[in-house]
Amino acid sequence: MLFRSRLRTGRRTGVSFGGRGTPILIILSLLLLLTSSTPPSIAVRDSASSVLRVVTEPIAAIGRGLAVIGAVAADVQALRTRLALTLQERDEAAASAARVASLEREITELQAILDLRSSISFSSIAVQVVARDFEIGKRLVVIDRGTRDGITEGDIVIGAGGTLAGRVISVTEGSAQVRLVSDPEFTVTAEIATTGAIGLLHGRGANPLVFDDIDALRDVPVGAEVTTSGIELSSALRSAFPRGLSIGRVVTVSDPSGAVIKSAEVKPILELDSARTLLVILNYGGGLQLPSAAP
């Protein structure tokens, strides 16, 4: 609304309510209306609140959703980190456990060799296996002692418990090659002391040893211990192996009906493929010097 009046000077003067103060007046009016407790004021406030809720609720929901997504992502990342650390810890523990088990086995083996060395009457020397040749048809190992340590071709090699491991077939100044009992070219006369059964024992690589040419009338029980027979015909003629060295135990017997001989399979007592510490007998002096020959 605009009121005009003429001044004495003849100029028009306008009085307006639409200037800069209008927004302020509107805001003040709304504040008074919203803070009033009259029914119209309450109705206006409720309408305004509804409008604000309609506007703000979707925004709040989006905010909550983003917060949830962020929390889930952080949780997934934390789980992945924990999983990686746990896997690493498991691998380290497994490696450590394997190393501990290996050391325990080596300690047991060394103690057994020490006990054996103090219990046998022969001169001997402890050796370590430094290489293996387990190609098809072979069971050979290289040990870390040679001629400078007194080892010669034909020397007998034994393991923990006085078990027969093999025989030296070649030697250098600092090392020697040993043919294991399990090598197909290895042969030794063996017996079951409890029944008197005697036969020839041959290696078969990774398979059980063969104990054959046994008198069919002799008993060969499963589980019986097979040892070197150590036959001595005279002081100058005796077996290439001393008597009583343990070789293995009978696992199966083949005794065909009507046959005059029978055979058996023998599982070595010594873990030939993994033995690391052995003992070489230096002064037995058996009658036969060929490593693969039987007495």
pLDDT in tens, 134-179: 888 899 999 999 999 999 999 999 998 899 999 999 999 999 999 9
Amino acid letter for position 278:
L
Tokens of 93: 């523990």
- 196 vs 293: which has the higher pLDDT: 196
pLDDT for the residue numbered 237: 59
| Residue 251, pLDDT score | 97
pLDDT tens-digit readout, 12-42: 444 444 555 566 656 655 555 555 556 655 6
Whole-angstrom Cα distance, residue 36 to residue 167?
113
How high is the pLDDT of residue 112?
83
pLDDT score, position 113: 82
> Which of 130-134, 218-222, 283-287 is predicted with the least confidence, judged by mean pLDDT?
283-287
Q: Domain residue spans in the chain?
A: 20-119, 124-281
CA-CA distance, 252 to 267, in Å (whole number)? 9
| pLDDT at site 83 | 76
Q: What pLDDT band is residue 183 in, cutting at 50, 70 and 90?
A: very high
Which CATH number is correct for 124-281, 1.20.120.1200, 3.20.20.70, 3.40.50.1100, 2.40.10.340? 2.40.10.340
pLDDT value, residue 172: 96
Tokens for 180? 């294991």
**Average pLDDT value for residue range 57-85:** 67
Residue 9 reports pLDDT greater than 50: no
* Res 192 pLDDT > 80: yes
Name residues whose C-beta falls within 8 Å of residue 222's C-beta, 6 or more positions apart in sequence. Answer: 250, 251, 252, 253
Which residue is it, tokens 């090659």?
177
Dihedral pair phi/psi, residue 130, rounded to 5°? -115, -15
What pLDDT score was predicted for residue 111? 84
206 and 182 in contact (C-beta within 8 Å)?
A: yes
From the list 289, 285, 278, 274, the residue with the least C-alpha distance to 126 is 278
**pLDDT for the residue 291:** 46
Residues 156, 167: contact at Cβ < 8 Å? yes
pLDDT of residue 109: 81
Mean local confidence (pLDDT), 129-134: 92
Tell me the pLDDT band of 84, cut-offs 50, 70 and 90: confident
Distance (Å, rounded) from C-alpha 277 to C-alpha 272? Answer: 11
Q: What are phi and psi of 142, to 5 degrees?
A: -110, 135
Mean pLDDT score, 119-128: 88
Whole-angstrom Cα distance, residue 241 to residue 9? 150
Q: Which two tokens stand for residue 247?
A: 């070789």
- 188: Cβ–Cβ under 8 A, 6 or more apart, which residues? 164, 181, 200, 201, 228, 240, 241, 247, 294, 295
Neighbouring residues of 248: CB distance < 8 A, sequence distance ≥ 6: 208, 209, 225, 226, 266, 267, 268, 269
pLDDT at 94: 80
Cβ–Cβ under 8 Å, residues 231 and 244: no
pLDDT band for position 290 (50/70/90)?
very low
